[in-house]
Amino acid sequence: MSLTADKIFVNLPVKNLNQSVEFFSKIGFEFNPQFTDENATCMVISEHIFVMLLVEDYFKTFTKKVISDAGKSTEVILALSADSREKVDEIVNKALHAGGKESKDPIDHGFMYGWSFQDLDGHLWEVMYMDESAVN
């Protein structure tokens, strides 16, 4: 039997919830007010993908481990697909203009194109486009 799930909720610790909401809003993400309070918010990536931005003190209530400092170390890279190379550039440029930092230079493999940024807390986000017709 294989495991299947129809939704994913990624949980990320943030230092300042209001600043994070402002940052991701400038990129174009929306939030579900039903799951938002002073401790957390639910950022909608798609119909089935969500990122829970949790204030660090609240995040700590879910784990006994030390929270990684994403500005100094990496535990995960969040990769998002885009519909085109232009959309990749648009999303990353919005992130950079909103206060994010470039993580890596754009990578162009012809059939696949990606570019990365760091959010306000140092979490790594990669946006990529792949021409699936070139892979078949």
Of 105-109, 112-116, 131-135, least confident by mean pLDDT is: 131-135
Domains (range + CATH), the chain? 8-135 (3.10.180.10)
Higher-confidence residue of 40 and 135: namely 40
The two three-digit tokens of residue 1, written as one number: 């039997």
**DSSP-derived secondary structure letter, 48:** S
Query: Model pTM?
Result: 0.89
Quote the distance between the C-alpha of residue 44 and its chain's center.
10
Tell me: pLDDT of 1 over 70.
no
Could you tell me if 124 and 118 are in contact, meaning their C-beta atoms sit under 8 angstroms apart?
A: yes
- Tens-place pLDDT, residues 40-98: 999 999 999 999 999 999 999 999 999 999 989 988 999 999 999 999 999 999 999 99
Could you tell me if 88 and 113 are in contact, meaning their C-beta atoms sit under 8 angstroms apart?
A: yes
- Tens-place pLDDT, residues 17-42: 999 999 999 999 999 999 999 999 99
Q: What's the pLDDT at 134?
A: 77
**Angstrom distances, CA of residue 62 to CA of 46, 59, 66, 75, 101:** 24, 6, 11, 17, 28
